[in-house]
Amino acid sequence: MTVSIQHEGEIAVVTVDNPPVNALGQALRQGLWEAVGTLDADPSVRAVVLICTGRTFIAGADVTEFGKPPVPPHLPDLVDRLEQAGKPWVAAIHGSALGGGFEVAMGCRFRVALDSASVGLPEVTLGSLPDQAFGFGETDDRGRGARAFRVFDDAGLRTIHDGDAGVRGPEVN
């Protein structure tokens, strides 16, 4: 598992490489946590783009950690850290952003996605409501669930409101 940082002018590109599906285990959470601190402290960086290698964005929890005691940084803390970062983070989504991966994307200030990308919270089918994705966290009163996605496709940049994937807003060029 790696989290690497490259600089392209004033933009930092944080790349997640955790095959096969970029699972959000403790090492990945720690790598992202440290990247936020490193980039916030770098005066040459004005914005950060979060990308993932392979066929998908962060596709959810690391199943090898199921049934074990949670180890920090915990996902809600990471999402809060991303949201409160001094530099704006942009999640560049391809493939799937599921569960914790979707929550990480929602913690970024902005999101862009390929038209073929999918996002979701599969844990809700098990009766679990992820507090970070819906804005029910104890200290979060802004409601992340009200945010919109920007999607790239052949028609240009369009908005998809995350509450209803079938609703598309006007094109933005």
Q: Which residues contact 108 (CB under 8 A, 6 or more apart)?
A: 50, 82, 83, 88, 89, 90, 91
Q: Which residues are catalytic?
A: 103, 123
Q: For 111, what's the count of Cα atoms within 13 Å in the CB-facing half-sphere?
A: 30
Angle (nearest 5°) at CA 120 between 103 and 106: 25
Q: Which amino acid is at 94?
A: H
